A and B are shown apart, each in its own frame.
Chain A
Amino acid sequence: GQNIDQPTEMTATEGAIVQINCTYQTSGFNGLFWYQQHAGEAPTFLSYNVLDGLEEKGRFSSFLSRSKGYSYLLLKELQMKDSASYLCAVMDSNYQLIWGAGTKLIIKP
């Protein structure tokens, strides 16, 4: 079956760095997405990786290793507004997004 695994919850301190991991097993691979979802709100797009390596976008970076079925989202200089759930999703061979359950990130002052 298809599976996306990510930690349920993580806690970090304001101003610090946090890495959220995602491992996947899917039928085919057409790219990996990261979305941010604040409580009670809609998911919003953060990043897309289809080739191995690191994609940097401001304070957020996303890494992909296709051979290991692994990605991570790196958040630097954490701010209180970064408290949210972070969703990892993989586009499978049928071009359907398979979603992880999300990682709830709690930022403490």
Chain B
Amino acid sequence: NAGVTQTPKFRVLKTGQSMTLLCAQDMNHEYMYWYRQDPGMGLRLIHYSVGEGTTAKGEVPDGYNVSRLKKQNFLLGLESAAPSQTSVYFCASSPLAGGHLETQYFGPGTRLLVL
């Protein structure tokens, strides 16, 4: 049982390049989330999903897109990377039972540097 996994672990992009971050969970969780974590700031929600085929915007969605084609996978896309998107990205998942009040389980993070 791997829990929540993220690929890649680290990536360097040039401004304007695109990339997709992959999050996978094997706990059969309904809810999945993408956060970014910047120094001196709390985690900020980018997008989230309450089930397969659904997505919703969080606090800071601009510049990002997401897809949840399969229940176990949640993809985060950057169409045209900007230096302001340099951050550590965390994916999290939680079961349905308690809704959003359930504990979130986090992946190990993806460190992204945009030059």
CB of A81, distance to nearest CB on chain B (Å): 18
Given A96-B58, A96-B59, are A30 and B101 also a contact pair (CB < 8 Å)?
yes
**A38-95 residues at the B interface, CB under 8 angstroms:** 41-45, 48, 50, 87, 89, 91, 95
A96-B58, A96-B59 known; A43 and B100 CB under 8 Å?
A: no
Q: Of B4, B45, B104, which one neighbours A45 at CB under 8 angstroms?
A: B104
Quote the shortest CB–CB distance from A88 to chain B (angstroms).
Answer: 9
Shortest CB–CB separation between residue B110 and chain A, in angstroms?
Answer: 11
Q: Interface majority SS on B: helix, strand, loop or mixed?
A: loop
Shortest distance in angstroms between B46's beta carbon and chain A's nearest beta carbon?
A: 11
B104:A41 contact, CB within 8 angstroms: no
Inter-chain contact A87/B107, CB cutoff 8 Å: no
Mask of B79-109 contacts with A, CB within 8 angstroms, 1/0: 0000000000010000000011101111111
Residue numbers in B under 8 Å from A8 (CB-CB): 40
Counting contact residues on chain A (CB < 8 A from B), the size range is 20 to 34
Cβ B90 vs Cβ A43 within 8 A: yes
Contact residues in B for A91 (Cβ distance below 8 Å) = 100-101
C-beta contact mask, B42-66 vs A, less than 8 Å → 1, else 0?
Answer: 1111000000000000110000000
Does B2 count as interface, using CB distance less than 8 angstroms?
A: no
- Is the interface on chain B under 10, 10 to 19, 20 to 34, or 35 or more residues? 20 to 34
Nearest-CB residue, chain A, relative to B40: A101
Residue among A30, A41, A50, A97 making CB contact with B45, cutoff 8 Å: A97
* Complex Cα spacing A45 to B106, Å: 9
Q: Please state if B99 and A89 are interface contacts (CB–CB under 8 Å).
A: no
Evaluate whether A87 and B103 lie within 8 angstroms (CB atoms) in the complex, with A41-B108, A96-B58 already known: no
A42 → B minimal CB distance (Å): 4
Q: Which residues of A contact B106 (CB under 8 A)?
A: 42-44
The answer, yes or no, to whether A7 is at the interface (CB within 8 Å) is no
Further 13 A-B residue pairs, CB within 8 A, beyond A4-B42, A30-B101, A102-B42: A41-B108, A41-B109, A42-B4, A42-B107, A44-B106, A45-B104, A45-B105, A48-B103, A87-B42, A91-B101, A97-B100, A99-B44, A101-B41
